[in-house]
Structure 1
Amino acid sequence: MDRLTSMRVFAKAVELGSFAAAGIDLNMSPQLVGKNILILEEELGVRLLNRTTRRQSLTDIGSTFYERVKIILAEVALADSLVAETRSEPRGRLRISAPATFGISALVPKLPIYLERHPQVQIDLTLSNRNVDIVDDGYDIAFRVGNLADSALIARVLAPYRLVLCAAPAYLERHGDIGHPRDLTRHECLGFSHTALRTHWLFEGPEGRIEVPISGRLMIDSGEGLLAAALGGMGILMQPVELVEAALRRGQLKKILPDFAVPTRPLHVLYPQDRLMTPKLRTFLDFALEAFG
């Protein structure tokens, strides 16, 4: 007989007042109840119950032991319930933070897939280019583009974030085609306020990595705003593939410098390391890796 079973039997006998009542509740004979308690007493080397033919009562050490046993059994029950929770159907509200452009162009179009699979989950999505404090702000998951700062968060690597350099045909007609990244220094470049893309752009070419300082009269903190500006012929745009691919297909934008690769940016999904791996969290992480891994 294991110690935990004997402790459960002992606690039930104390609560119900007799071996017979405990046996009925636990679906075992009174003799087996008594055997469990006797083995427990022998292992501990103390008497826990004073027993007569008519009544039973706790000894002093038995009373102290019973109080500790109640705590232990409650903790075991809690642990069992947590394990059961991780195996159950995903349900409840999932709070997610994502950069605005990635969220609008890549994440939101794919969310119906996850929600259809898990109809009892509700998603509360915040789209912001500000790096939220996941723990203090109460988020379950956050997507991050760019290099990560050291933190206690767990990071899962997703496929790199691909950027495209492009401009409206009308802009190129007015200002001329661009043959080399350094030609960008003479052009209106649309700057993205929240990253290094506001001051310089990087390229990979036959001569290696090229870093070009950029400038322009318009800087916006929104990829969608920059796209609208580029479609209006206001300058040259460097933004994610997902944001510009429809405009490229329609001919509203034209790729620039196809022989020079734009370096990708890291993309991660993060969550707190002390967060319980609930079904909703586990299934969304699996979905993120499936959709963007």
Structure 2
Amino acid sequence: MDRLASMQVFIKAVETGSISAAAELLNLSSQLAGKQLRALEDGLGIKLLNRTTRRQSLTDSGRIFYEHAKNILAEMEAAEALIAETRSIPRGRLRISAPITFGSHALAPELPEYLKQHPEVSLDLSLTNRTVDLVEEGFDVAFRTGELPDSRLLARGLSPLRLVLCAAPAYLKSAEKLNRPEDLQRHECLVFSHTSLRTQWSFEGPHGLVSVPITGRFSTDSGEALRAAAVAGMGVLLQPHELVVREIEAGRLVRLLPDYEPPARPLHALYAPDRRMTPKLRSFIDFALKKFGAG
């Protein structure tokens, strides 16, 4: 029996709440996971989990063993990372968090190149607009847009995200003229509810910065949903260039107010200062700087 593999099944079963969930996470069959757990209990001569068809719970011995086993596996992972570092070969799984629009339309298309360059690395990309906790949730690196609050994380600045103001020809045909930012107050604006863009839009124009309060009957935290609404003629859209460029090239959306440029949104790659700079993390940070660096 592979004692470390059986310990991993046990730990994941405790953390996920079931053997079947642990098996899925570890890419094992439920039968094999259950067999490994039983073999672990037999080898130790104790019962680790009380199991019924409805629930499971740790025994007193299982609770003690869980804490020690978790530390043992953490030490093993640290030792493996250290060996990999001394060999200077990027390898292992790298967990990445990114905003949905940037992750889908800018980052994901570049990842095949990174994987080709580093065949011993696997990537786990999580797309979400919420602010993840890198340490608590186990991410190696996270991309974030907007101004950064004071943080214990290390940040590498990337090229800011360009925003584009646009709308469908069908909407513009029946809407009032839009000649300057202030005219947006008489338009149906499609509201991105995740950031400050939900209440006002800003533009750099011939006479400096102009900020305009906006309103709209449709709001969502999904850039893709806003793009679909804009193409359907529901209103005016302000979203990153990567999200709308194909629609503009195809004529389904039209760029507006070319003399007024929306300020770009800052973009950073973040990682924890106490996270060991393994070859896989270093190689990915370097790759991100090459692809999305500020210059």
TM-score (norm 2): 0.71
Counterpart in the other structure of 1:113: 113
Question: Contact 2:157–2:269 at 8 Å: present in 1 too?
Answer: yes
Partners of 2:84 and 2:128 in 1: CA distance? 35
Amino acid aligned to 1:281: L
What SS is found at the alignment partner of 1:136? Answer: helix
Amino acid aligned to 1:228: A
Amino acid aligned to 1:189: C
Q: Give the number of the structure whose alpha-carbon radius of gyration is greater.
A: 1
Question: Contact 2:93–2:122 at 8 Å: present in 1 too?
Answer: yes
Partners of 1:196 and 1:84 in 2: CA distance? 42
Counterpart in the other structure of 1:289: 289
% identical equivalent positions? 62
Partners of 1:267 and 1:168 in 2: CA distance? 28
Aligned: 1:104 with 2:104: yes
Counterpart in the other structure of 1:138: 138
How large is the RMSD of aligned CA atoms in angstroms?
Answer: 1.7
Counterpart in the other structure of 1:247: 247
Partners of 2:193 and 2:178 in 1: CA distance? 24
Partners of 1:132 and 1:113 in 2: CA distance? 26
Q: CA deviation at 1:126?
A: 0.7
Partners of 1:145 and 1:112 in 2: CA distance? 23
Structure 1, residues 79-108: CA drift from partner, whole Å, max 9, x if none?
A: 9x8376254321111000000010011001
Paired residues for 1:48-67 under 5 Å: none
TM-score (norm 1): 0.71
Q: CA deviation at 1:135?
A: 0.7
Question: Contact 1:86–1:277 at 8 Å: present in 2 too?
Answer: no
Amino acid aligned to 1:289: L
Amino acid aligned to 1:179: N
Counterpart in the other structure of 2:280: 280
Amino acid aligned to 1:123: L
Counterpart in the other structure of 1:174: 174
Partners of 2:223 and 2:120 in 1: CA distance? 32
Paired residues for 1:216-255 under 5 Å: 216-255=216-255
Unmatched tracts of structure 2, length 5 or more: 1-77
Amino acid aligned to 2:134: I
Aligned: 1:196 with 2:203: no
Counterpart in the other structure of 2:184: 184
What SS is found at the alignment partner of 1:157? Answer: strand
Amino acid aligned to 1:226: L
Q: How many pairs were matched up?
A: 216
Partners of 1:140 and 1:82 in 2: CA distance? 16
Aligned: 1:147 with 2:147: yes
Partners of 2:149 and 2:86 in 1: CA distance? 30
Aligned: 1:85 with 2:85: yes
Check 1:282–1:86 CA distance in 2 against 1; reply closer, same or farther (3 A cut). Answer: farther
Amino acid aligned to 2:261: A
What SS is found at the alignment partner of 1:135? Answer: helix
What SS is found at the alignment partner of 1:179? Answer: coil
Question: Contact 2:84–2:90 at 8 Å: present in 1 too?
Answer: no
Counterpart in the other structure of 2:156: 156
Unmatched tracts of structure 1, length 5 or more: 1-77
